[in-house]
Amino acid sequence: MLTRKRYSAKEMMLWTRLETALFFIIALVLTIFYVIFGFKFLVVPWAPLAAIGTAVAFIIGFQNNAAYGRIWEARKIWGGIVNATRTLAMKVTDMVTNEHADQPVSDAELAEIRKTVFYRHIAWLTALRHAMRQPRKWEVFEEHRTNREWSKEMHVPERVTTLEDDLFLFLSDDEWHTVTASKNKQATVVYLQSNHFRQLKERGLIWEFAFLELENLLQELFTLQGKSERIKNFPYPRQYSTLSHIFVWMFLLLLPLAVIPEFAKVGLGLAETYPLAGNWFVWAAVPFCTIVSWIFHTMERIGRVGENPFEGSANDVPISTMARGLEIELRQLLGEDEDLLPSQFPEVQDVQM
């Protein structure tokens, strides 16, 4: 389901390098105060901290499960869009005929009608993917420095071209003005499609049963669109997201205050048999705290960046790639020249957008 083939250890460390350095500095400074300056009061009992760590682990687990659930639901919705698109193409191809027409039209005109329907559906896909990429106040992926670094490398098509430009090829002038002037552009495209189907039915180019079948498909598209918009417009509850972030940092700041004294005790025990190792063992608390802090914070951060599956991060649903793939399929069905077909959006570091 993920858009990446894999994450390398190098990429993960680069992504979290700022926090890792901060965790190391915090642990090192507190160890210096404890060992060199004798600040023995910098101690937190291990038992209550373990209880806090357990609670934080549950919170992080809940957040990650919720985030993955949102991603998986979004992927199922867009999988449904793929299936509905192919079904629509199949039915339009076989149902738009002269079989029941009072005044039959030429094969060229039938082909033009199919092209109009296909192109209008591509316009719907284009409008929907642009709508899903629109920023929301609660989408905070790019507030982090390393996330912004990733975004600069990523190729998010909706940030390169405007919706108005992308729609120009697929709609007539009147339809283009109607769609671009509306607030919900993707819904307007479906309204236009339904109106066109009714006109074709009145001309006998679509018989009654075929018209109902196509209308049911449009209803399914509306349902899938609404589900996708629901995920986009209803965020993961902010109280859970904010509190989990605060709780994780509380735990990470308290962690060295419990770990350093414990390592000091172990060092005293070792000093009787291995004086050199025992005297220096307390400093092992620095890498230990850094590793534990990195694990907790990285898991919380992964859940945070996965909350919004259309934001444009590396783990989002690749709606741009899916929409472009469907566009290529539909235009191939129309028999268009391969040289005129658009190319698929490029992958950057194995990431589809």
Most confident of 191-195, 239-243, 268-272: 191-195
Beta bridge partners of 131: none
Q: At a CB cut-off of 8 Å and minimum separation 6, what does 75 contact? A: 1, 309, 317
3-class SS string, 166-197: HHCCCCCHHHHHHHHHCCCHHHHHHHHHHHHH
Long-range Cβ contacts of 246-251 (<8 Å, 24+ apart): 247/52, 247/55, 247/56, 247/59, 248/56, 248/59, 248/60, 248/296, 248/297, 248/300, 250/52, 251/49, 251/52, 251/53, 251/56, 251/296
- Average pLDDT, whole number, for the chain? 90
Residue with tokens 């259309």: 310
When comparing pLDDT for 254 and 145, which is higher?
A: 254
Decide if pLDDT at 4 tops 70. Answer: no
Say how many C-beta atoms besides its own lie within 10 A of residue 273's C-beta. Answer: 8
Instruction: Give the per-residue pLDDT at 5.
Output: 43
Instruction: Give the per-residue pLDDT at 7.
Output: 54
Cα–Cα distance measured from residue 19 to residue 4, given in angstroms and rounded to the nearest whole number: 23
Domain ranges of the chain: 9-340
When comparing pLDDT for 42 and 282, which is higher?
A: 282
> Does pTM surpass 0.95?
no
Instruction: Give the per-residue pLDDT at 175.
Output: 97
pLDDT tens per residue across span 121-130: 999 999 999 9
Decide if pLDDT at 2 tops 50. Answer: no
Q: What is the mean pLDDT of residues 316-330?
A: 95
Instruction: Give the per-residue pLDDT at 352.
Output: 80
Decide if pLDDT at 3 tops 60. Answer: no
Instruction: Give the per-residue pLDDT at 186.
Output: 97
Cα–Cα distance measured from residue 353 to residue 94, given in angstroms and rounded to the nearest whole number: 33
Q: What is the mean pLDDT of residues 257-281?
A: 88
Cα–Cα distance measured from residue 198 to residue 179, given in angstroms and rounded to the nearest whole number: 19
Query: Which amino acid is it at 45?
Result: P
When comparing pLDDT for 301 and 154, which is higher?
A: 301
